[in-house]
Amino acid sequence: HGPIAAVTRGIPVIVLDVPGPVHSDVSSLSPELCDRGAQVIVVSSAAQADIRLPDDMPEALAPVAAVVRAQQLARALSLRMGFDPDSPAGLSKVTAT
């Protein structure tokens, strides 16, 4: 039940594992996601992370660095899929009034 129930074989899951109070819960979630067959991508300062964050980042700033890495990942994925992230379909930067 809940979000974990949506995780099935082949579903990509990005795990943002930053230092702080939730670290132990998040790090224990990754093996469970793998057991469900998810394609887990870990964003962390840990040596085994798929996408590395700086080691010396203060806890309060770690989520900011994680979000920047997620944006970089979204851009790379968009380009790889043949999309132009600077000109998304259906989006106009000008509002007609």
Instruction: List, for residues 30-45, the tens digit of each pLDDT value.
Output: 899 999 999 999 988 8
Global pTM reads 0.69
pLDDT for the residue 82? 92
pLDDT for the residue 97? 73
- Inter-CA distances, 26 with 19, 30, 77, 92, 95, Å: 10, 7, 24, 37, 41
Residue 49 and residue 89: Cα distance in Å, rounded?
33
Q: How far apart are the first and last CA of the chain?
A: 45
pLDDT for the residue 3? 78
Residue 21: count of CB within 10 angstroms of its CB: 7
Residue 1 has pLDDT above 70, yes or no: no
Q: For 64-88, what is the mean pLDDT? A: 87
User: Mean pLDDT in the chain?
Assistant: 85
